Amino acid sequence: MADGFDAVVVGSGPNGLVAAVTMAEAGRRVLLLEAADAFGGGLRTAEVTLPGFRHDLCATVLPLALASPAFRRDRFWQDLGVEWAHPAIPAAHPLDKRPAVLVHRSLGETALGLGRDGAAWRATVGMITRGGDRLVGTLLAPLSVPRAPLRAAGFGAVAALPATTLARALFRTAGARAALAGMAAHSMLDLRAPITGGYGLMLAGLAHHVGWPLVRGGSQRLADALVRRLKDLGGEAHTGHRVRSLDEVPAARSILLDLTPRQVLAVAGHRLPAAYRARLSRYRYGPGVFKLDWALSGPVPWADPAVGAAATVHLGGTMEEIAHAEAEVSRGRHPDRPYVLLVQPGVADPTRAPEGGHVLWAYCHVPNGSRVDMTEAVEAQIERFAPGFRDLVLARATMDTRALEAHNPNNVGGDIGGGAGDLGQFIGRPVYSPHPWATPVPGLYICSAATPPGPGVHGMGGLQAARLALRREARAAARG
């Protein structure tokens, strides 16, 4: 490892990768250090069941990557060599003994399928489509000068509501209410809590605005492409290099940590002022997840065949059932019928498995640090809407909260969101500050999902931390 770096980035999740590339594009010589044996954090792909079956270990469906200002579109993706695969239907929500709710790329087609709730869906979820990139950019950069202030204000007035309150106010049918609840449950919050409605509206709106695509060949390819971009710009990148203390990091004008507060304290606590250490120590982590991956001998036998065209499937039944399950988790309990988020990548990307085979993954939410095996509960929810599913299972792999944290230490207690995303920590992550990416130590920044705008493969934490570092470097140089 050479000396003389301008910037060091610790951690290679999406935010760390974007931070490293942003610094390198500004002419800085960058060193990227990753503890694991592969780059990517939540963007890793591996054969965890059977040979030839390639599973994404965390993120698969990446609408925020297409929508985010941190990733330029069109030529940018071509230059990276990243190929996107769009499913015929972005998301589906099966229901008992009735047709599933289908969320299409087309806002109009989705509204038509919702019948008498179509107009309300178009008016609210459609705000993202009508606001376009300017509104999405504003929502993903909540502490910047808004690019679409009036639209953002209108969206925020609705998005601040709890998902259950919003669904009951907007929709009259069980299907539309369930669909919004399934979207909102991505927040990993009690759906009676403020801003959960906003999570649901944002995710549903992205399905119409940019789609819910997958990276052909696996999410690892996006991480690897960004590492190649960094190296093409003269940067260095190393796996298998765990940083236990900042004293092990080469001196640099800027050091950016793609770490959550617990890891920041472990690595840099000895350099941080006591008051700031105390603030970081109060950072809260949310529920964990229990994840399963399956190798299947054929496609999932959904009771409603239309669900077979959707890459993402929300399982949990009605809004009331989903809200009850998420409330149980928020109380530290394990629901008997959990909300299950399921992804069947093969409907858009058949390269993930040998001919005739399919890969599948799903997770449910559990209390942080849970050691309960939820396999039976998750598979029962799949069987509920796809009778005969278990007959197709060739092999399965499970990851409880301990395994998830071992895979990626940022997943504290199995929390894949980098910290609770409730109202208190929506902007105040990791602390309340106009520049939350900066620490009190000059040149030391945090750029993980524990900074605004929070979790998701959007790279905005990395982009904003890097831009702040570059501005401060420029001011320091101007002062001489």
With 60 as the cut, is the pLDDT of residue 1 above it? no
At residue 172, the pLDDT reads 97
> 251-274 burial, b for 16+ CB within 10 Å, e for fewer?
ebbbbbbbbbbbbbbebbeeebee
Please state, in angstroms and as integers, the Cα–Cα distance from residue 479 to each residue in 6, 400, 417, 439, 474, following that order: 18, 51, 39, 21, 9
pLDDT tens readout for residues 193-224: 999 999 999 999 999 999 999 999 999 999 99
At residue 73, the pLDDT reads 62
- In 174-276 the beta strands, taken as DSSP E runs, fall at 214-215, 236-238, 254-257
Using an 8 Å Cβ cutoff, are 343 and 378 in contact? no
At residue 228, the pLDDT reads 96
At residue 152, the pLDDT reads 87
At residue 157, the pLDDT reads 92
Selection from 305, 308, 280 nearest residue 432 by Cα: 280
pLDDT tens readout for residues 242-257: 999 999 999 999 999 9
Using an 8 Å Cβ cutoff, are 186 and 321 in contact? no
At residue 168, the pLDDT reads 98
pLDDT tens readout for residues 99-122: 999 999 999 999 999 999 999 999
Tell me the average pLDDT across 385-389: 98
Tell me the average pLDDT across 223-235: 96
At residue 84, the pLDDT reads 95
Q: How far apart are CA 385 and CA 376, in angstroms?
A: 15
Domains and their CATH numbers in the chain: 7-43+215-285+417-479 (3.50.50.60)
Categorize the per-residue pLDDT at 144 as very low, low, confident or very high, splitting at 50, 70 and 90: confident
